[in-house]
Structure 1
């Protein structure tokens, strides 16, 4: 009997345990490795094809795999929702007994009426607001057929006994890149932004397993 109770308690506690959150940027991040050019024998020309393509009459905006872009994080989302409803209904029925036969004339002075009323009013509202700002530098992982750039980057910041992670990925239109080689996060398509941390500070913000257990079985 004791073994059954121990196993049952272990099952409940396992159900109350929290699993680590799945990352938003699910692709495994590895920096792009640009293969080195195999230099051939110079042919005497001023411009050598094996030295790579360097545009002379174009701005130096990122457009190739491995190029660097600075993402300016300016995310602000707010939403408000309000709803209200009201209804009312009233009815009244009266019956007069003056027209009763002589045998029931003693009831003629009586009568009755029935009335009902129903009123309802309800309202509700909710609001949410989130704001995130910062800067992260990402790398071009792929050049799409239409010229757009698929970028991804990660930043790790170690503070005392904790580590903060910032991950970003998305698709950038090269025309949205400014002269300072930066682009606003609001101009990035399919943007995925994740900001998480680990360490004792992050653990202090989580409920203990015993508290989660009682919250799980509490009827109200």
Structure 2
């Protein structure tokens, strides 16, 4: 009865965890708006002078909290592994029968010689091949400027389809020098990148195992 109760609790726990899905407008990915400081303009005699404006001769590159950077997704990974193992071991022991006056000692017509012959052999082979590729783009916000000038970025993109939704989420660190003049950065230059690409709806649900199947395939299943 205790084992049955424990199994029921585990299955209920799996059922409770099943159904936790990402949702749009997650507070963890909410955009960060820049702070507006209302500073009085100094009277300089110019009609177009603005103390907070950027240099007219400099690129308008993202460098402040709230600025937008477009990350160009150019992720491509490939891994291949092959292993072959072949082990063999032969053992042989031969003890001749003892002799007395040149004649072997026998018991009921059988000699006392001992012979042992053993053979062990193991052969294994494994192959693994995996490739992933992700391309596209996502615009993110600068949420923090670190003391060394690095930009902490974060953002998400949701696309609603007929049978569900697809989303891309990205967080990471970008060097200000890697931001191009059109405010784009390759994803290969994002440090500590966390990229999520998944979806919700019928197509996403059909690719997932049921909670009971996942329980039987988990390490918690004792058999």
TM-score by length of 1: 0.76
SS state of the match for residue 34, structure 2? coil
Specify the alignment match of 2:12 in structure 1: 14
Aligned match for 1:125, one of 122, 127, 132? 127
Q: Which runs of 5 or more structure 1 residues have no equivalent in the other structure?
A: none
Per-residue CA deviation, residues 88-139 of structure 1 (Å, 9 max, x unaligned), is 2223333444732489666799555332222222232323222111110111
Q: CA deviation at 1:42?
A: 5.2
Q: CA deviation at 1:76?
A: 1.4
Once residues 158 and 94 of structure 1 are traced to their aligned partners in structure 2, the CA distance between those partners, rounded to angstroms, is: 78
Equivalent pairs counted in the alignment come to: 214
Specify the alignment match of 2:62 in structure 1: 62
CA RMSD of aligned residues (A): 3.7
Aligned match for 1:144, one of 139, 143, 146? 146
Specify the alignment match of 1:75 in structure 2: 75
Shift in CA distance, 176/218, structure 1 to aligned 2, threshold 3 Å: closer
Per-residue CA deviation, residues 198-218 of structure 1 (Å, 9 max, x unaligned), is 223322333345655666798
SS state of the match for residue 28, structure 1? helix
CA contact (8 A) 1:151 1:172 kept: yes
Q: CA deviation at 1:69?
A: 1.0
Shift in CA distance, 205/56, structure 1 to aligned 2, threshold 3 Å: same
TM-score by length of 2: 0.75
Shift in CA distance, 172/84, structure 1 to aligned 2, threshold 3 Å: same
